[in-house]
Structure 1
Amino acid sequence: MTLPAIDWAQPWLAPYRADGEAAARAVAHGDGSVATALQRIRQASAPDFVRQEALPAGQAYEAHIFQTRTVPTRDNLHDFFNGLVWLAFPQAKRRLNELQAAEIARDGIGATRGALRDALTLFDENGALLDAPPALWRALAARDWHTLFVGQRGLWREARLLLFGHALLEKLVTPRKPITAHVLLPVHGETGPAALDDARVAAALDPLRLEHKPFVPLPVLGVPGWCRDNEAARFYDDPQVFRPLAGRGIPGP
């Protein structure tokens, strides 16, 4: 496999850059297998990465990971980023897998996932974590985009947004303004750097809480420093991307 060009200097890739560049080199100079490349750089806390053929026909992907502690991996960008998140957040990813596997064991695989599996999948694919001052959290929860990104722009120097979802990271290889993350709301209003810690994230993944989808949408290219165009305030005058809460004129995402 040949990976597409990835701009590792992009700010949203900073948490994954060291492992990502190492894995990309391993893909390029090894046998071309993403699983082999990830396995070469994995730490003891991460699962083993195996080729997709290791997943038996008819076996649920999440159930297989739970039972074997191995991650079947295809040779594509989606699974490449999934592996990088496993390396960076092994406890949180394992917690997601445990919850998915328990739901599958209870209900099987059906046409619909159910509220909990929907929330688990949403966070796994498109989730993000935010450490930010309370004023930014209030503006984000209210979808008050002008306050969040213009009026309180200076506060972003005290904030850190970390993208967790591997599908989200994949989409941002080709950045587009509408790309939106689902930010996990803090537990009991707790914020600070610990909110981005692997163990704390895993502990926050409580099934009863997740069933209520405790997420708020955030168009990631609105983050100061993440897109040159957003230096102009008019960047945010786009109601198809920066949507207000439902009931304020345009339905929210």
Structure 2
Amino acid sequence: MPPMPAPRCWAKAGWNSASSDPPVDHPWQPPAWPAVLFSGHPAFAALGPWLDRLGGFPDLTDWQRLAPVFTRSGHALTCVDPASLTRYYEAEIHELGRIATRPLNWHDCFNALVWHAYPRTKAALNVLHHRLLPMTGNGQRGPVRDAATLFDECGLILPYCDEALAGALRDHDWRTLFVTRRAAWGTQIEAQVFGHATFENLLAPFVGLTGKCWPIAVAPAYFDWPLPQRMAWLDACLAAAIDADMLQSPRQLPPLPYLGIPGWWPTQDDAFYADAGYFRPRRKHRTPSPP
């Protein structure tokens, strides 16, 4: 597949604004805050409490109005200008609690928001990177850090209580996953966005967007819990798995063409799901077990 265009983060908020020309970039104005998209698209529900509290594009001081989150080393996380960093990005977070946050930048904005939504998992990923830094010099991350970076950037958490749905994911049986078993979404399977690049892409989505997902088997009662309880449980589960070195390779994270999730794209008709360029069949090689 040819490389997809970068997300157009200045595009007007909506289900699909990729065809609209972005407005003129006025550097003294913050990006428009797409409140309608944030409240209407199910992918952003997990960030809702913090999006509501911010109410507009934050500057560095606005982040301090939110409840603090902490690194595993005990530092309260502080958003800072990247020019002020004195260490490598992950080391600055672990050793000083300072996270580089570019002004008026959606990518960094969503990164900070995910720290609030899933603090244990973000802290565990930071520990993993910091621990492996001395072993992966010369710009080479290695497979473990590659997997961690992929999940951090474009990851989705996929809790499920029916093994047949996990099998459809592994087999790239997209018609079963998204059409035949459509009613299972929200009651037997769901997707929670973790990757901050995925949140950014959903500002101006286009057919072709694919994430790397972490499937997690759950009890059926999980789907009766309120969203904050589900998120807290997933956060603890993921952090424990990362601490146990269960994430070893990018190939453990199966792809998910997430615009196929019910309600995540405005036109989900037969022609949409028949697009084999987006809903691709599985390649003929062994798929590693998920983390």
Tell whether the structures are fold-level matches, with TM greater than 0.5.
Answer: yes
2:128 corresponds in structure 1 to: 99
Contact 1:92 1:198 in 2 (8 A): yes
Q: Offset at 1:40? A: 1.7
Residue aligned with 1:176, SS = coil
How many Å separate the matches in 1 of 2:69 and 2:116? 10
> Is 1:115 aligned with 2:112?
no
For residues 128-147 of structure 1, the aligned pairs below 5 Å read 128-132=156-160, 133-147=162-176
Larger RCO: Structure 1 or Structure 2 (Cα < 8 Å, ≥ 6 residues apart)? 2
Q: Residue 201 of structure 2: which of 168, 171, 176 is its match?
A: 171
Contact 2:144 2:247 in 1 (8 A): yes
Name stretches of at least 5 consecutive residues in structure 1 with no aligned partner: 28-32, 249-253
How many Å separate the matches in 2 of 1:167 and 1:197? 20
How many Å separate the matches in 1 of 2:266 and 2:93? 40
How many Å separate the matches in 2 of 1:41 and 1:25? 13
Can you list the C-alpha shifts for 1:21-41, whole angstroms capped at 9, x where unaligned? 3224363xxxxx2x3222221
Q: Offset at 1:44? A: 4.6
How many Å separate the matches in 2 of 1:115 and 1:217? 17
Q: Residue 20 of structure 1: which of 51, 57, 62 is its match?
A: 51
Q: Residue 50 of structure 1: which of 72, 80, 103 is its match?
A: 80
How many Å separate the matches in 1 of 2:48 and 2:83? 28
2:263 corresponds in structure 1 to: 225
Can you list the C-alpha shifts for 1:216-244, whole angstroms capped at 9, x where unaligned? 111111001212211x1221111111011
> Is 1:154 aligned with 2:183?
yes
1:191 corresponds in structure 2 to: 218
How many Å separate the matches in 1 of 2:83 and 2:249? 35
Can you list the C-alpha shifts for 1:27-65, whole angstroms capped at 9, x where unaligned? 3xxxxx2x3222221335462222223212xx3101111
Q: Offset at 1:207? A: 6.3
Residues 208 and 202 (structure 1), Cα distance of their counterparts in 2 relative to 1, 3 Å cut = closer
| Aligned-pair Cα RMSD in Å | 2.0
> Is 1:63 aligned with 2:77?
no
Name stretches of at least 5 consecutive residues in structure 2 with no aligned partner: 1-28, 71-75, 223-229, 286-291
2:42 corresponds in structure 1 to: 11
Contact 1:3 1:24 in 2 (8 A): no
TM-score (norm 1): 0.85
Contact 2:159 2:218 in 1 (8 A): yes
Residue aligned with 2:186, SS = helix
Task: Flag the structure with higher helix content.
Answer: 1
Contact 1:181 1:220 in 2 (8 A): yes
Contact 1:99 1:207 in 2 (8 A): no
How many Å separate the matches in 2 of 1:42 and 1:80? 16
2:211 corresponds in structure 1 to: 181
> Is 1:41 aligned with 2:72?
no
The alignment-based identity, stated in percent, is: 35
